[in-house]
Every structure is written in structure tokens, then in C-alpha cells.
Amino acid sequence: MTERPTVSSTPVLRTTLLWSTLATAALAVLGAVLGFAVGGVDGLWSALVAILLAALFLGFTAGSILIANRWYGDALYVPIFFGLVMGAWVLKFIVFIVTLLVLRDQPWLNGTVFFVALVASVVVSLLIDVVVMLRMRIPHVSDVTLPTAADIHDGVEDRPDSDETTPRG
């Protein structure tokens, strides 16, 4: 069995998910403390729900791309990739609408704490994305296999459409 090539975005996405997981844990602790200080138990739960919701939604995209990248090198890679990524986007949209419908009339939800925690989570996630992208060493042209010297022949005899007497040029 031949080993499939890896996509250059895979290490970037793995690093992003790892850092985002650590940031979510730190934000959950900070959000719980600040939410409790501002809004009591309702503020604590509002902050935790917002932070976990942001982590879930932001993880959908990176996770779907990582899963789709497993088919890199396969003839069906492009339709699988776009199918999985678009499927994750549709799932994210459905979960978002259902979550808003469920949470909108909850008496324990502190709207201000929820909003601030959600925005803080998204901003931290975007900062992580920027830092990871700036620190990763990825060539400008990646995931391309260039021909080697063995692949390039000086003669024209390997070309079925060539005439032996016509010089190559």
C-alpha cells in the first residue's frame, strides 16, 4: 500500500486546534469567574455556554478540513473535501439556529455576559489563527510535485506523437 501525501494545511490546522483548545480552557475559567462576579450563577452559566458554543462552531471548520484532507491524493478528493466542508457549514448553521431558538427565552441567560464571552472567544480564536499562520513555515507553492531529472528526457523517442527526425525545440 502506498502512503498518501499530506496536505500542507494539516499541521497548521492541528496547531490551531491545539492552541484553541488550550485557549478555550483558559477562557472558560476566566469567563466563569468574571461571569459569576458580574451576574452571579446566571452569569457563570451564560459565559460558559457562550465560550463552549464559540469553540464548537470554530472547531467545526478546522475539523472538517482535517477530516477531508485524509482523502488527499484520491481521485475524489475535491468533491469529498467540498462536500465535507459544506456539510460542516450547513450543520453549523442548523446548530446555530436551534441554539438561538433554545436559548432566547431562558430565564438564566444573562445576555450581556453571553455576548461579551462570545465575542471574546471569537477574537481570541482569530488571534490564534493569525499567530499560527504567521509562525508556520509553508512554501508559497505547496502540495505540488515537480518533475525530477529522471522524469525529463532529452530525447523525443518517448513521445508517441513525435517524429524521430524532428528536433525538439
Segment 51-108, tens digit of pLDDT? 999 999 888 888 898 899 888 888 898 999 999 999 999 998 999 899 989 998 899 9
Q: Is residue 162 part of a domain?
A: no
Tell the burial category of 64 from Cβ atoms under 10 Å away from its Cβ (0-12, 13-18, 19+): buried
Q: Is residue 80 part of a domain?
A: yes
- Is residue 164 within 8 A of residue 28, CB to CB? The reply is no
- Span 159-169, average pLDDT: 54
pTM over 0.95: no
Q: Is residue 90 part of a domain?
A: yes
Q: Is residue 167 part of a domain?
A: no
Q: Is residue 47 part of a domain?
A: yes
Q: Is residue 3 part of a domain?
A: no
In the prediction, which pLDDT does 156 show?
Answer: 47
Q: Is residue 143 part of a domain?
A: no
Q: Is the pLDDT of residue 6 over 50?
A: yes
User: What residues make up the domain containing 14?
Assistant: 9-135
φ, ψ dihedrals at 165, nearest 5°: -90, -15
Other Cβ atoms less than 10 A from the Cβ of 71: the count is: 17
Q: How many domains does the chain divide into?
A: 1
pLDDT tens sequence across 107-149: 999 999 999 999 999 999 889 888 887 877 766 665 566 677 7
- Span 40-50, average pLDDT: 95
Q: Which residue, chain included where needed, has cell 518517448?
A: 158
Q: Is the dihedral of CA 136, 137, 142, 148 positive or negative?
A: negative
Rounded CA-CA distance 113/42 in Å is 9
